[in-house]
Amino acid sequence: MSKILTGIGICGDLVIAPLFYCEQEISLPTENITDINSELTRLNQTISLAKQELSDLYEKTLKQYGQEKASIFEVHQMMLDDPDFYESIKNFIENKENIFQAIQKTAHNFAKMLADTDDPYMQARVADIKDICKRLISILLGTKSNYMMEQPSIILAKDLTPSQVVTFDESKILGFALQEGSANSHASILAKANSITTVINLKEIDKNWNGKTAILNAHTGTLIIDPSPEQINQAKKDLEIIKNQKIALEKLKGTKTSTKDGKTIKLYANKNDIEDIDKALNQDPEGFSLFRTEFTYLKASAYPTEETLFNVYKETLIKAKGKEVVFRTLDIGADKTAPYFNLPKEENPALGLRAIRLCLTRQELFKTQLRAILRAGAFGNALIMFPMIISVKELDNTLTILNEVKQELKTQAISFKEDLQVGIMIETPAAALISEDLAPKVDFFSIGTNDLTQYTCALDRQNRELLPFLDTHHKAVLKLIEMTVQNAHKYNKWVGICGELASDMTLTETFLRFGVDELSVTPPNILPIRQKIQSLDLSK
Amino acid sequence: MIQFTYKIKDPAGIHARPAGILVKLANGFKSTITVSKAGKSGDLKRIFSIMALGAKQGEQLDIHIEGEDENQAKEAILKCLQDNF
């Protein structure tokens, strides 16, 4: 019997695939133990089960993909066999730590040991340590974790944290079917960047659907579990229609983003990560805005070094093939952080120590990143952008640091790009209201509509209870945008719009009439927005 | 005790997969096998200790083997290094 759930389609099209149920992140027990022996027995059993799993996985992968791909599972078995690794877990347990703590602390220490080698390849093997520890923990909990997803699937989950999203093998994600979530949640943003078919707000998902076939349709916002043959046929027909629409858009590649009356707009791709760049290029963007530099930090297990950052940025610029790339400096706060930052929990992280505030507080961290961006700048067309600026003083302090870093590089005779354009995000009402004072000091503004809406309306974008109160076209936000554009233009500075509203086609004409110079949209929206702009005539 | 040195030629250095081959091989011998590089040393039978060396192209490894099958071990390990690294 098939079952239909209705939610809100976020992005992508339609997919027919098995479901993979993903557990919510579980908080592991932290209390100490009293019975050391039974905990050690548990450890031995868990390790031997894990080795059995790995050995099965090795055989299976060997048959399907050959020795090259399979050997990593052999290495994982060796890691579990390594007496140093085992002794470490055992020692923690003998000190009355529970098995979860013992595994996690061991993983942390071993990961640190590899991260301390000066070899980027070994540093990347930290992922293998995390992987074996996740395997042990999921055996203990009796849950299958994300990394065990074997076939391409639709992820079925209550909601996903950003760190959960990055643990999946991207090539195997065919869709997201989420019970909660919002259009602006991190999972949705990532899904959009990768054109992954996503439907959220599906009421009452059931974990027993794991492995069942489903049709996920983002156009209708539906999830059909156990579809009938007729429903599958209909879905295949719908998919055909969607494909034909795509062919029409393909023809717009290489054409100019201009209105009928000749106003040309820069249409840039939002880009999260270096891995997105090839996919994005395929959609024919004119540049790349909003390279979210925090992703390199979120994926790491210790502060990335200047060299690591430099290599990521350099490779990005080379891959961008001479097109502009806007590097937004670190935008991390208590709600979006990596453990090694050791950020204290905050009552109100959205209003807390985040983004430029964190960088101005921890200047060494900031300088390392600036050095990497400036040095990489010599390899392409880089721009730099600072997030969350709310005052002239903050901007002045930030620019002073930027100049200090340039001076340092000069003194050390290290080559870098001296004259790269500098811009700031306008994402608070404060910044929009004083944009006239900020404009003379920078080369460009980029209006971040997600945060601007959240801060203007005092409305948490992650909270779905608030959806009925969310007016994404709130007049106050539009007024702030218009005002910012006018102030920038007084000083001949250009203004871009990023965030969800930039891709909202019902606002494209409004933004063009405000005089916006650049729109930064998710890659799948580039061609549809170009089509929209080419259909507009602003003289009428 | 036998001692010999080996200079890594592979541009990739000692990486996880080939390190696995080496560890598997070492575990087949009774001798104690120690590898050192620039003051750091590790047990060739333990994968983490080899990975933590972070050995790269052009770097020299000092290998010490001690035990009843040290001669066979040396031959096999040297061949494995030459074939893979």
ipTM: 0.83
Query: What pLDDT, on the 0 to 100 scale, is given for residue A264?
Result: 94
Alpha-carbon radius of gyration of chain A: 25
Distance CA A117, CA A112 (A): 9
- For A243, list phi and psi in degrees, rounded to 5: -60, -40
Dist CA B43 CA B29 (whole Å): 13
Tokens representing residue A190 in the block? 């990532």
What is the reported pLDDT for B14? Answer: 62
Domain boundaries along the sequence of chain A: 3-25+147-245, 36-142, 265-535
Reported as type and span, the H/E element at residue A530 is helix A526-535
Q: How many domains does chain B have?
A: 1
Closest CA to A126 of A148, A145, A110, A138: A110
Contact yes or no for A448/A498 (Cβ under 8 A): yes
**Nearest C-alpha neighbor of A454 from the set A195, A236, A182:** A182
Beta-carbon contacts of residue A413 (< 8 Å; ≥ 6 apart): none
Residue A270: which H helix or E strand, with range?
strand A266-271
Condensed to tens digits (0 to 9), the pLDDT of residues A422-432 reads 999 999 999 99
Annotated active-site residue A186? The verdict is yes
Nearest C-alpha in B relative to A71:
B17
Q: What is the pLDDT of residue A214?
A: 96
At B38, the pLDDT band (50, 70, 90 cuts) reads confident
Question: Could you tell me what percent of chain B has a pLDDT over 90?
Answer: 22
Fold of A265-535: TIM Barrel (3.20.20)
Which amino acid appears at position A294 of this protein?
A: E
User: Which residues of B fall within a CB distance of 8 Å from A126?
Assistant: none
Return the bridge partners of A423, or none. A385, A444
- Please check whether residue B46 touches A, CB under 8 A: yes
Contact assignment for A114 to B16 by CB distance below 8 Å: no
Angle at B15 between CA B14 and CA B17, to 5 degrees: 125
Q: How far is B58 from chain A (nearest CA, A)?
A: 13
The first and second tokens of residue A340, run together, are 């090694």
CB atoms within 10 A of CB A362: 15
What parts of chain A have a pLDDT lower than 70? Answer: 24-27, 120-121, 123-124, 143-148, 161-169, 183-187, 190, 193, 272-275, 334
Short-list A538, A401, A423, CA closest to A491: A423
pLDDT value of residue A80: 92
Determine contact, residues A178/A200, Cβ cutoff 8 Å.
yes
Of A84, A119, A128, the CB nearest to B49: A84
Picking from A72, A81, A114, the nearest residue to B51 by CB comes out as A114
Torsion sign over Cα A235, A236, A237, A242: positive
Distance from CA of A44 to the nearest CA of B (A): 18
**Does residue B53 sit at the A interface (CB-CB below 8 Å)?**
yes
A133 is catalytic: no
Task: Name which CATH class applies to A3-25+147-245.
Answer: alpha beta
Top CATH class of A36-142 equals mainly alpha
Residue B23, domain CATH: 3.30.1340.10
CA dist B78 and A171 (Å) reads 39
Residue A121 CA to residue A104 CA, distance in Å, equals 22
Query: Could you say which of B19, B52, B56 has the minimum Cβ distance to residue A113?
Result: B52
Q: What whole-number distance in Å separates Cα of residue A269 and Cα of residue A239?
A: 25
* Residue in B17, B47, B54 closest to A117 by CB: B54
Tokens found for residue A276: 């997105």
- Measured between CA atoms, how close is A122 to chain B, in angstroms? 6
pLDDT of residue A183: 67
Picking from A167, A160, A217, A168, the residue whose alpha carbon sits closest to that of residue A186 is A160
**Residues of the domain holding B15:** 2-84
Name residues 40-79 of chain A within 8 A of B (Cβ): 71-72, 74-75, 78-79
- State the Cα torsion A56-A57-A60-A64 to the nearest 10°: -170
Mean pLDDT across the stretch B43-65?
A: 85
Give the model's pLDDT for residue B32.
92
B58/A contact by beta carbon, under 8 A = no
Longest pairwise C-alpha distance within chain A: 81
